[in-house]
Structure 1
Amino acid sequence: MVTDFSYCAYISDLAVKKDYQGRGIDPVLWEKVKKELSDEVTFVLLSASGAMDFYSKQGYDQADNAFRIMRKK
């Protein structure tokens, strides 16, 4: 995660080993991250297509105002 601790926190990756997925580890990790930042910080993240439902269940809104230039490699 990259953050300025006052406006935005960009989460690049949050991964849980496949053997441990579905055990409630992800929400615990998110709560720990959110406790470190104020409620004035906006969380921004990119999601793998298979994880879209997870983030919706965690209260994240899907954004429609993003742009990207894909990496070449």
Structure 2
Amino acid sequence: MAVSFKVNRPITIDQFTRLLESSTLGERRPIHDRECMEGMISNSNLIVSAWDGALLVGIARSVTDFHYACYLSDLAVHKSYQKSGIGKRLQSLTQEQLGPLCKLILIAAPAANSYYGQIGYTHNDRCWVLEPGVTIGN
């Protein structure tokens, strides 16, 4: 397995969707909504990807200002490539693209919740989520 890593290499919607389907992340993403998937890729301003030849085997998809905050919205590794260090490398390469004061922020998938503390993240219980269709009240 000779995996190469790329920063902001173009990724097709089909490649992205297939990767999410082949990882546990596909269960929590709108993989059947092509327009949404297109928006997710085209509006991300930092994408670090892992490739085995022409096969996309990992992705760290982020939205960031590069100076203060980077929201790592998708971290996915193909099931056949998990536990080989690809996820850690994707996060490290993402971090390398950011300024020295920029924080990497993510919402952990339930099965991965304990993983992040083991690799250096600190837990923050102050996150709030406003679901689609919910109107902000008084």
In 2, Cα distance between equivalents of 1:58 and 1:70:
29
CA distance in structure 2 between the aligned counterparts of 1:43 and 1:52, rounded to whole angstroms: 15
Flag as ranges the 4+ runs of structure 1 deviating above 3 A: none
**Structure-1-length-normalised TM-score:** 0.88
CA deviation profile, 1:9-48 (whole Å, cap 9, x unmatched): 0111010011111111111111111111122001111110
Cα root mean square deviation, aligned: 1.2
Instruction: Pick the structure with greater CA Rg.
Output: 2
Structure 2 CA distance for aligned equivalents of residues 38 and 60 of structure 1: 17
How many equivalent pairs are there?
A: 72
When the two structures are superposed, what TM-score results if normalisation uses the length of structure 2? 0.49
- For residue 80 of structure 2, the aligned residue among 7, 11, 19 is 19
Cα distance in structure 2, aligned partners of 1:51 and 1:39 = 26
* Higher RCO (Cα < 8 Å, 6 or more apart): 1
Identity %: 35
Greater strand fraction, Structure 1 or Structure 2: 2
Contact 2:63–2:72 under 8 Å retained in 1: yes
2:97 is matched by which residue type in structure 1?
Answer: E
5+ unaligned residues in a row in structure 1: which ranges? none
Task: Trace 1:10-49 onto structure 2 (pairs within 5 A).
Answer: 10-49=71-110
